[in-house]
């Protein structure tokens, strides 16, 4: 599928081919992926979910997203920043999320860091790495996994104390939150040219 072009979905609309393997993917692709996301809590959620996705398929995260939201107080930074060691242990027993101690601890530590930031500071930092819109990819082979901007964003987040974010995770965040629009050129859901 690496060089696959946009492909007709069950409704005949051309979509990025990765979106056609599950109904949850279609809904996510059509209504969320690549659309601009703003707000510190919303971006914290996406950052956390991308970190939990590391090493797994995105469908695993999508299918547990409501469980994650329930477990992590809807990703309200101030609320998660108050979680303690007993919350970490509770989360390790929660079947509604991915029970990975390193990822859970990073999620809690990141909230504690972000709680000390000014409102809008996470939003401003992340969006400062949005590149100018580029040429739309024609096939999946044209979509990178890492860019200079995602590498720089990952470094900036790490320097600020944010854990469990590398260049690939940062690029997935950029795609998910609309900093880049990697919908294929023929995709009926491309957001900008």
Instruction: Please give the positions annotated as active site.
Output: 28, 50, 58
Is residue 4 within 8 A of residue 139, CB to CB? The reply is yes
Is residue 98 within 8 A of residue 92, CB to CB? The reply is no
In whole angstroms, how far apart are CA 20 and each of 12, 25, 183? 12, 7, 13
Which residues partner with 14 through β-bridges? 8
Please count the other Cβ atoms lying within 10 Å of the Cβ belonging to residue 71: 20
Cα dihedral 155, 161, 166, 167 in deg (nearest 10): -30
């Amino acid at each position: 599928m690496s060089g696959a072009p946009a492909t007709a979905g069950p409704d005949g609309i051309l979509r990025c081919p990765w979106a056609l393997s599950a109904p949850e993917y279609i809904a996510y692709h059509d209504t969320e992926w690549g659309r601009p996301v703003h707000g510190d809590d919303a971006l914290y959620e996406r950052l956390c979910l991308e970190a939990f996705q590391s090493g797994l398929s995105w469908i695993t995260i999508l299918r547990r997203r409501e469980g994650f939201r329930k477990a992590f107080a809807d990703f309200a930074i101030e609320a998660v920043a108050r979680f303690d060691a007993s919350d970490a242990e509770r989360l390790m027993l929660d079947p509604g999320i991915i029970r990975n101690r390193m990822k859970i601890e990073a999620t809690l530590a990141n909230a504690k860091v972000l709680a000390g930031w000014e409102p809008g500071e996470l939003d401003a930092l992340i969006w400062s790495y949005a590149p100018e819109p580029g040429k739309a990819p024609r096939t999946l082979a044209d979509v990178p996994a890492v860019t200079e901007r995602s590498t720089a964003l990952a470094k900036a987040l790490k320097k600020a104390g944010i854990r469990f974010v590398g260049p690939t995770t940062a690029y997935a965040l950029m795609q998910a939150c609309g900093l880049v629009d990697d919908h294929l050129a023929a995709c009926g859901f491309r957001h900008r040219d």
